[in-house]
């Protein structure tokens, strides 16, 4: 047996959910460009879970189901108030809250197909409420209850700020949700599938996935991109800052991708939204710095930007706290995680790979009195 570091190039399962072929991302055969321009996030959720786009009646039904399940148990809201707020990252709060939610779901350990679908609805509906409620509680504000008359994207922004968002903000956020919904067998999705392949419950699978997404080499990259932009500060500082990083062989967050060679097809959509939003907010320097960084890194390292790079300035322009960027990734990606969890349950086999042993051999036990 020979190991492959990071399982690069290893095909670990079959799936009918999403594909990355020749640098083209599709959800159930629909090109991401088509979906990003035309689909609502609710349509994408339905597509990932049912492998087809919904009819008008089916779309209305899933919207209704999500709206009716968005509220959190009081115990979860009260639990946030016990956290050491100044040191708790929102991703840690989200991970803990999702695990806690399982304690209040009477169907948590019910493993029928119907029960698992109902749990999927509850989790998809409640994760935005978790993120926004924690964000407000840590600032000493009361959570804003979800509204049943708003779209998924609009409702998130409303619960975050208490104000109904404008049309451009909703368009930008909906587009970001669509682009982040699924991405084949990425680290967090693989983690979720490994977890539930033991026939553990849906809440355990999503908690595991959130733990994997928390890392800066996965979901945490967009937060690090905004940190970099803030450190640079102005367009004049871009060249010396980036060249210093490159000369010291430091990683530039938001560039390159394990499975794309010509570039992440999602990045261009957020690049356009970044340009539009930064102009509207009177802060075009965020976009200008980003394009200058892209120019340098792409020309000198041959690395195009990935989806994380421009999502940072998009979220910043929407007035979202920087440490909420990764939880927002989870708000979207939970739709893909749940699709993969349901697919894993439907045709399950325990995921148990092997390891190439590189330690010593032919050792013999020596009594402790004889050890030097």
The active-site residue out of 180, 183, 257, 316 is 257
How many Å apart are CA 199 and CA 206, to the nearest integer? 13
Q: Per this entry, what is the length of the chain?
A: 372
**Phi and psi for 71 in degrees, rounded to 5?**
-70, 150
**Phi and psi for 329 in degrees, rounded to 5?**
-55, -45
Residue 372 is predicted with a pLDDT of 84
Residue 289 is predicted with a pLDDT of 96
Catalytic annotation present for 308 = yes
H or E, element range at 266: none
Residues 90, 160: contact at Cβ < 8 Å?
no
- Check pLDDT > 90 for residue 261: no
Q: HSE (CB half, 13 Å, CA atoms) of 34?
A: 11
With CA atoms as reference, report the closest residue to 128 among 106, 107, 151, 105.
151
How many Å apart are CA 326 and CA 277, to the nearest integer? 20
Residue 85 is predicted with a pLDDT of 80
Ordered domains of the chain (ranges, CATH): 16-167+182-213+325-346 (1.10.580.10), 221-317 (1.10.230.10)
Supply the DSSP symbol for 369: G
Query: Taking CA 7 as the corner, what is the angle to CA 5 and CA 12, rounded to the nearest 5 degrees?
Result: 165
Residue 141: count other Cβ atoms within 10 Å of its Cβ.
11
Catalytic annotation present for 33 = no
**pLDDT, tens digit, 9 for 90 and up, residues 154-174:** 999 999 999 999 999 999 999
**Measured torsion, CA atoms of residues 25, 27, 29, 35, in degrees rounded to the nearest 10:** -90
H or E, element range at 47: helix 41-50
pLDDT average, residue stretch 130-145: 96
**pLDDT, tens digit, 9 for 90 and up, residues 314-323:** 999 999 999 9
- Check pLDDT > 80 for residue 257: no
pLDDT average, residue stretch 278-288: 95
Residue 176 CA from chain centroid, whole number: 10
DSSP character string of 153-176: HHHHHHHHHSSPPPHHHHHHHHHH
- Check pLDDT > 80 for residue 298: yes
**pLDDT, tens digit, 9 for 90 and up, residues 170-223:** 999 999 999 999 999 999 999 999 999 999 999 999 999 999 999 988 888 888
The active-site residue out of 105, 182, 264, 308 is 308
With CA atoms as reference, report the closest residue to 179 among 23, 1, 25, 22.
25
DSSP 3-state assignment of 51?
Answer: coil
With CA atoms as reference, report the closest residue to 273 among 166, 175, 340.
175
Residues 181, 35: contact at Cβ < 8 Å?
no
- Check pLDDT > 80 for residue 1: no
Residue 227: count other Cβ atoms within 10 Å of its Cβ.
14
């Amino acid at each position: 047996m020979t190991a492959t570091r990071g399982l690069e190039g290893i095909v670990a399962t079959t799936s009918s959910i999403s594909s990355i072929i020749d640098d083209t991302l599709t959800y159930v055969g629909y090109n991401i460009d088509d979906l990003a321009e035309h689909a609502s996030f609710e349509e994408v959720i339905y597509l990932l879970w049912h492998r087809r786009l919904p009819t008008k009646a089916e779309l209305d039904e899933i919207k209704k189901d999500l709206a009716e399940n968005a509220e959190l148990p009081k115990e979860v809201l009260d639990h946030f108030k016990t956290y050491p707020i100044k040191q708790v990252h929102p991703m840690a709060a989200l991970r803990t809250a999702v695990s806690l939610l399982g304690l209040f779901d009477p169907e948590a350990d019910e493993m029928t197909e119907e029960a698992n679908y109902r749990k999927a609805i509850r989790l998809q509906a409640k994760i935005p409420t978790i993120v926004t409620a924690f964000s407000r509680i840590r600032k000493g504000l009361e959570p804003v209850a979800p509204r049943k008359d708003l779209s998924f994207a609009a409702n998130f922004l409303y619960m975050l700020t208490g104000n109904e968002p404008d049309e451009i903000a909703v368009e930008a956020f909906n587009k970001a949700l669509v682009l982040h919904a699924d991405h084949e067998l990425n680290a967090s999705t693989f983690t979720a599938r490994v977890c539930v392949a033991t026939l553990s419950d849906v809440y355990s699978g999503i908690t595991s996935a959130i733990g994997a997404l928390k890392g800066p080499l996965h979901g945490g990259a967009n937060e690090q991109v905004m940190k970099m932009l803030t450190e640079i500060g102005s367009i004049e500082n871009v060249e010396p800052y980036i060249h210093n990083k490159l000369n010291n062989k430091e990683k530039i967050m938001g560039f390159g991708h394990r499975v794309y060679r010509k570039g992440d097809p999602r990045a261009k959509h957020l690049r356009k939204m970044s340009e539009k939003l930064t102009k509207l907010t009177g802060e075009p320097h965020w976009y200008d710095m980003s394009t200058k960084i892209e120019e340098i890194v792409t020309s000198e390292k041959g690395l195009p930007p990935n989806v994380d790079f421009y999502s940072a300035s998009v979220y910043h322009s929407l007035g979202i706290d920087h440490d909420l960027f990764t939880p927002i990734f989870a708000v979207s990606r939970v739709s893909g995680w749940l699709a993969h969890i349901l697919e894993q349950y439907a045709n399950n086999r325990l995921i148990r790979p092997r390891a190439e042993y590189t330690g010593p051999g032919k050792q013999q036990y020596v009594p402790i009195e004889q050890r030097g």
